[in-house]
Amino acid sequence: MATLKLTDIRKSYGNAYVIKGVDLEIEDGEFTVFVGPSGCGKSTLLRMISGLEDITAGTLEIDGQRVNDLPPKERGIAMVFQSYAIFPHMTVRENVAFGLTIAGASKAEKEEKVAEAARVLQMEHLLDRRPSQLSGGQRQRVAIGRAIVRKPKVFLFDEPLSNLDAALRMDMRMEIGKLHKHLNATMVYVTHDQVEAMTLADKIVVLKDGKVMQVGTPMELFHEPANRFVAGFLGAPSMNFLEVSVDARDGREARVSNAALEPLAVAHKGRIDGQPHAVLGIRPQHVSATEPGRGLLHGTVNLSERLGTETVVDMTLKDGTKFIAAFDEDRIFEPGEAIDLEFDPARAHLFAADDDPAAPH
């Protein structure tokens, strides 16, 4: 059990900075997920916490102790890799006990701890098999077993489910969630999959180009995205963005409109100081269809996908922008059909037109 504190952590390869100053605090027992597109530096950041990568600048503290220069084994961490990294020539039992073997633990101690880990992960029947006889999910279970026998302070997961097929991924996701509840351990989890992030995390850290975009609970990030990137990254299908002109503005709200959008007032949260243009973000799920001529948004249907529980409509607005709408009902739309949408302005988000938080300050 441990807390983790990152202060202005940086990483560069020569002149190329891949982590550009990350500040983050992780509480004891918290499940933190690093999420972001490929190349955003989330895996690098995790590997810096593990000690597999050097920290160029900044301070990393585990339980209040600076660990920048400690080798991985002295940091009290365990790591689960995307490619499982279990040793092919060892049985499951030997793999799970590996850390204990390295530390020179007695046979009895190994037996006991392996048995406990196997019970927690429900893989007692696999102990004498070799990795080649296991499925992907079972292999990842072995890797997790190897991590938990040592009772580390912090668990690190580097995209542990990315090599599994969709059905298995969901099972394992739930297992990892249960494991976290059971062990109540501090866990840091890297993924590019927003569903994993949303379902598992106590705290999500959204990264882009080596910088933190936003930190918060899944619902905070979903409902109150701090910028366009976070807004567009979380949620599927992703949020629609409309370029709008700002017609009027007071201390709380701004009145915006464009060729396809009826004028309306949206809370601006201080993001659009005196700029004539802004970007309005609307989630596909937050609109509903209405009679032509009566809604806030006007457009025509290009294509609709009926999924049974919902209908996803790809449409073009009157000003030529693409818009995706998701209605939670099964309904038929014909291509070319004119369609009007209405939505609650309170659920729309207003961002500055030049909102690019990853740009250098």
Partner 1 sequence: MSSKLTRSNRAGWLFALPGFSLLFLFIIVPFFFAFWLSLTNQRLVSPNPTEFVGLKNYADLLSVSVLTLEPERDEAGEIRRDDDGAIAYPRVRSITRSDEFPQYRGMREWFRWHWGDKAKVVIASDVVFMKALVNTLTFALFIVPLQGGGALLLALLINQKLRGINAFRTIYFMPVVISIVVISLLWRFIYSGNEGLLNNILEALTFGAFTPVDWLGSTDTALGSIIAMSAWQAVGFHMVIWLAGLQTISPTLYEAAAIEGASKWQTFRYVTWPGLRNTAVLVLIVITMQSFAVFAQIDVMTNGGPLDSTQTLVFQTVERGYGKQDISGGATISVILFLMVLMISAVQAFLTRERN
For partner 1, the binding residues (CB under 8 A) are 50-52, 71-74, 77-79, 81, 83, 85-90, 98-99, 101-103, 130, 146, 150
Q: Which is nearer to partner 1, 102 or 236 (CB)?
A: 102
CB of 79 to partner 1, least distance (A): 5
* Beta carbon nearer to partner 1, 51 or 225: 51
Q: Which CB, 98 or 333, lies closer to partner 1?
A: 98
Select 103 or 236, whichever has its Cβ closest to partner 1: 103
Give, rounded to a whole angstrom, the gap between the first and last alpha carbons of the chain.
36
Q: Phi first, then psi: give them for residue 181, nearest 5 degrees.
A: -65, -40
Give the sign of the dihedral formed by CA 158, CA 162, CA 168, CA 174.
positive
Residue 38 C-beta: closest distance to partner 1, Å: 18
Query: Could you tell me the smallest distance in angstroms from the CB atom of residue 143 to partner 1?
Result: 8
Beta bridge partners of 352: 278
Please, what is the minimum distance in Å from the beta carbon of residue 245 to partner 1?
A: 52
Which stretches of 122-202 are assigned E, i.e. beta strand? 154-158, 186-191
Closer residue to partner 1, CB minimum distance, 59 or 133:
133
Neighbours of 61 (CB within 10 A): 16
Q: How far is Cα 137 from Cα 291, in angstroms, rounded to an integer?
A: 49
Which residue's CB is nearer to partner 1, number 47 or number 286?
47
The answer to whether the Cα torsion of 172, 177, 183, 185 is positive or negative is positive
| CA atoms of 330 and 289, how far apart (whole Å) | 12
Smallest separation (angstroms) from partner 1 to the CB of 132? 9
Closest approach, Cβ 82 to partner 1, in A, equals: 8
- SS3 letters across 248-263: EECCCEEEEEECCEEE
